[in-house]
Every structure is written in structure tokens, then in C-alpha cells.
Amino acid sequence: MSYFDFNSAEDSAQNQPLIPKGALAKVRLFIRPGGHNDPAKGWTGGYARRSADTGAVYLDCEYTVLEGPYARRKLWTLIGLHSEKGDAWMKMGRAFIKGILNSAHGLRADDDSPAAQAKRRIESFANLDGLEFVAKIDVERDDRQGEKNVVKGAVGPEHKDYAALMHGGHGAAPVTGGGSGSPLPPPAAARASVPTRPAWAQ
């Protein structure tokens, strides 16, 4: 196949239809290293990224949908670690990470058992890299790209579709009423294997 024959190239993300707002999907998280370290806070390994413009520090996260009709689709969301404007962004980031850990480990939000508490403790951001969890997908406006999909949060075992999405092999739950619904069986064409690392990290 000639490189210069672009008929077989994949469509760009901008040309793909948006995943519906409120849809749920099992995803794998990758942290795109930013090279920023702050040993006093335990931020090592170069995972964090610092904005030269605002001084904000965050995790630049990429999520790959693992199964179902949106398999292999990628989404991006920042997880706040520090803002010069105050603690609100940091608190939102910590809540986001707690939700990811709950979803990845099958913990209910109200489970305060010693075992659950231990699973919510991590040694470094490296423990987040590669985690699989059930994500709630949203649509946001981007000044450069127009509307785009983002990961709004993580869904835990309290949600009625969690078990099917996380363990049952279904790739996505549609939006019905309040944002939940019966999971959709993934089409055969959507069951293609997903790389364990994104291309930029291999």
C-alpha cells in the first residue's frame, strides 16, 4: 500500500460523531508525561505538567475506550493538582482521582473499610497510569475544535450498569432518561484489540 494513497486512512477525530453526552464506557487511563516534579508534594517521575502561562499544575490524561461501538476512541481531560488561584481545582482533581480508584477497584463511595481505604492510597501517579475504569462521558465546547468529548468522571458499583461495563464485556451504555440504561452489546467490528499503550508512549 502506498503511503500517499489516503483513501484507507482513518478519519480524524474532528470528523467522527461525538459520543452522546452522559454515555458510559470502560476506558484505560494514560498520563502524558509533562516533566514537572515537586518532591515536597511527592510529585515525582515527571508525570505532572506545569503551565508556563498560569503556573497551574495538572495531569494531562488520555483515555482510550476499550470495548463497544466507540472502541479505540480517545478522549482527553486534565486533572488539576495545583492552581495559583486557590485550592478549588486541586480539590476537584483529588475527587476525580478518588472516583477513578473507586471505579477501578470496584469500591462503593461509602465503603470505609480498611481494605477499601488501602486501595485508595497510592504511592505515586505511576499507580494511576494504565488503570481501567468506567467513565462518564460529556460534551464540552472548545474554542479551537468546537464541541468535543471529555471524561467527566468515574462511575462506581453503585451504578446499575457498572458490573456489565466493567466485567461483562459490554463496551458502552447508552443515555436513557437520567443518563443510564441497558448496556449495548458491542458490534463485532468494534471488538478490535486496543493497544496497551498509546502510540506516543510505545
* The pLDDT value given to residue 6: 85
Instruction: Tell me the C-alpha distance between 168 and 120, whole Å.
Output: 24
Does residue 72 lie in a domain region? yes
Contact (Cβ atoms closer than 8 angstroms) between residue 71 and residue 192: yes
Instruction: Tell me the C-alpha distance between 107 and 31, whole Å.
Output: 22
Does residue 10 lie in a domain region? no
- Give the number of other CB atoms < 10 A from CB of residue 151: 23
* The pLDDT value given to residue 103: 98
Does residue 92 lie in a domain region? yes
* The pLDDT value given to residue 71: 93
In Å, what is the CA distance from 52 to each residue of 18, 56, 79?
A: 31, 8, 17
Instruction: Tell me the C-alpha distance between 33 and 22, whole Å.
Output: 28
Does residue 12 lie in a domain region? no
Could you give the number of structural domains in the chain?
1
Beta bridge partners of 154: 135
Does residue 125 lie in a domain region? yes
Does residue 3 lie in a domain region? no
Does residue 131 lie in a domain region? yes
Range of the domain at 148: 17-187+195-199
Q: Model pTM?
A: 0.79
* The pLDDT value given to residue 78: 95
Residues lower than pLDDT 50 in the chain: 176-202
* The pLDDT value given to residue 109: 95
